[in-house]
Structure 1
Amino acid sequence: MKAMVLDRPRTPLVLVNRPDPVPGPGEIRVRVEACAICRTDLHVVDGDLPNPTVPLVPGHEIVGIVDLVGQGVSTGRLGRRVGIPWLGHTCGRCSYCTHEAENLCDQPLFTGYTRDGGFASHVVADAAFAFDLDAPDPVALAPLLCAGLIGWRCLKKAGDGQRLGLYGFGAAAHIITQVALWQRRRIFAFTRAGDHQAQEFARSLGAEWAGTSEELPPVELDTAIIFAPVGELVPAALRAVRKGGRVVCGGIHMSDIPSMPYELLWQEREVLSVANLTRSDAREFFPIAQQAGVNTYTTTYRLEDANQALDDLRMGRLNGAAVLQP
């Protein structure tokens, strides 16, 4: 198999040849068709997240075909197209797992962080955490495995408010905009200063307003989701939401939130975070994405061009999602 490997954080990935992996009990091997690149991959590669299991194959928005099954896995899964997400395994025993909060498991494994991921021609996954997919286009499907699923979890946490602000208009925001509009919400998009391309992209998808994160929207927001990993956006979003409004932080990593006056939080405004995802999120989201007619906007790269794709994401040169194709 071919794989792009991270030997240590803050260094470029290296293309290597490895023996084809063999699935263990309860596992499957997947021939990777497409693997989207998530901002979390950047946090792993750039050393923002501590203690990755190195050497490591990053990537956790994986779509591919099951070509080998381990002991205890039905051979009926052979030849099936599956998706492999960030949450790669849970203990099933801790209080979180037994109370429908497996995303907070005490002993989890994460794809592309603590176990090898999809920047490769093949990957081994826990069969219980690989979702059967029916749609025909693996490139279009790949961003749904994290940008879509985490975006969906954020949208649920945001509540039912109609005036929704999205801070950071990348892969997750462009998917959730389409779902939210299908739900008849109003979208207000916030980007970094000078990113007119992202603002135009947001408007083209149906955003009612698009501006910079330093601006206030033309109306008070009911709720806001922050996808950009920038702590300064928390007080900015609190200024934009109404009394009783809610701000959801959707990233796994964020820079420090600066000191702010209590009046921004007062009047029962809330700040929430979203961590990981659950398998029930996927069971809810994939049918909804189909009903909403979600289209993912992608830029494809060869596997060996993963470093270029990561840099394009890092520097904000992409609209939508980057996708590697082995």
Structure 2
Amino acid sequence: MAGHAADHTPAGDTAAAAGPGTVSGWAVRQPGPISSGPLVPVRRPAPEPGPDDLLLRVEACGVCRTDLHLAEGDLAPHRPATVPGHEIVGRVVAAGDTVTRFRVGDRAGGAWLRGTCGDCRYCRAGRENLCPASRYTGWDADGGFAGAALVPADYAYPLPDDQRATELAPLLCAGIIGYRALRRSALPPGGRLGIYGFGASAHLAAQIALSEGARVHVLTRSAQARELAVALGASSAAGAYERPPEPLDSAILFAPVGDLVPVALEALDRSGTLAVAGIHLTDVPALIYERHLFYERNLRSVTSNTREDGREFLRAAARIGLQVTVSPYPLSRAPEALADLAGDRVHGAAVLVPG
């Protein structure tokens, strides 16, 4: 996997420094607009791994739009003062007594999904992403905006030692959820795919689709993102509300903008499918049946991912040599990274790096 960093690659970092037995990072104190400062620095006792856990020394943690939704209150907090971050790359520094898949010193990844019941009808059918008892990193438990994090071993991913941590981090949510969204879009072999919004997740999903022979049309408001899309091989790149140059077999909406749902549906060919990839979406305008849904057009949501999605995607990423475009920030600048994400100023994926 090749990687590209934006011009503001970080210098030293002090936010992750802590005394013996403590870990420093950031927590969401009071959800609200980024300008209100919802992230506050925290220093807490180092977490102790349970029997099934890994304790990771964080090497890098991606900044996902879900983190922004949690900070700003679009997603209601599940617990007070939670440390966000669920694209965690780290080294195992301790493991619980029952853990056999990882050893101290291994590189491992912690992702959004961190727990399911394993026994409900969804889990038994291989659809654990729909488990009513599912739990999530950075929402139900502290995440990776810190110097260390706990990850349940059964939900961790082995990661290669020969890749930069900053390039691996976005794969663990942006990549995985983009992969699931691509599959939910029912893209046929050699099909025509429209991608609305072109950030961390979209630029990875586009490469998977291109590797499978698709023609990809990107529609996004960011001129810089359009340039990246063309550089990666997109057949066209235009404004978010423009019409693609040909009817689409499939489309994925990555931008959390409900106004784009009818726009994308109208761009579909007969029997086409639109997959909405975000965990949060602004209100969708009224749909006109004849314009947006007739001719058996399909509208699908995307909910989290299964661990098998993650394994499949990581294998595909390694096979095709996925190009990961990242903008690194020192952990001390986590609020700035979220603000840049909110303002569409991030090139590719934002990634936090502890010092």
TM bracket (short chain): over 0.9
2:216 corresponds to which letter in structure 1?
I
State how 1:1-326 maps to structure 2 within 5 Å.
Answer: 1-10=23-32, 11-74=37-100, 76-136=102-162, 137-161=164-188, 162-192=191-221, 195-263=222-290, 264-326=292-354
Unaligned runs of 5+ in 2: 1-22
Higher normalized contact order (CA 8 Å, seq sep 6+, divided by chain length): 2
C-alpha separation in 2, matches of 1:49 and 1:14: 18
Q: How does the TM-score come out when normalised to structure 2?
A: 0.89
Change (3 A) 1:76 1:111: closer
CA contact (8 A) 2:195 2:253 kept: yes
Greater mean alpha carbon deviation, residues 153-162 or residues 31-40: 153-162
2:71 corresponds to which letter in structure 1?
V
Query: What do the CA deviations read for 1:152-179 (whole angstroms, capped 9, x no partner)?
Result: 0011111233110000000011111111
User: What is the number of residues matched between the two proteins?
Assistant: 324
1:152 corresponds to which letter in structure 2?
Y
- 1:75 positional shift: 8.1
C-alpha separation in 2, matches of 1:314 and 1:52: 22
Q: How does the TM-score come out when normalised to structure 1?
A: 0.97
Query: What do the CA deviations read for 1:115-166 (whole angstroms, capped 9, x no partner)?
Result: 1000000001111001111242111000000010000001111123311000
% identical equivalent positions: 47
* Aligned-residue RMSD, C-alpha: 1.1
Query: What do the CA deviations read for 1:79-98 (whole angstroms, capped 9, x no partner)?
Result: 11011110011111221111
SS at match of 2:208: helix
CA contact (8 A) 2:272 2:296 kept: yes
CA contact (8 A) 2:38 2:72 kept: no
1:169 corresponds to which letter in structure 2?
F
SS at match of 1:96: helix
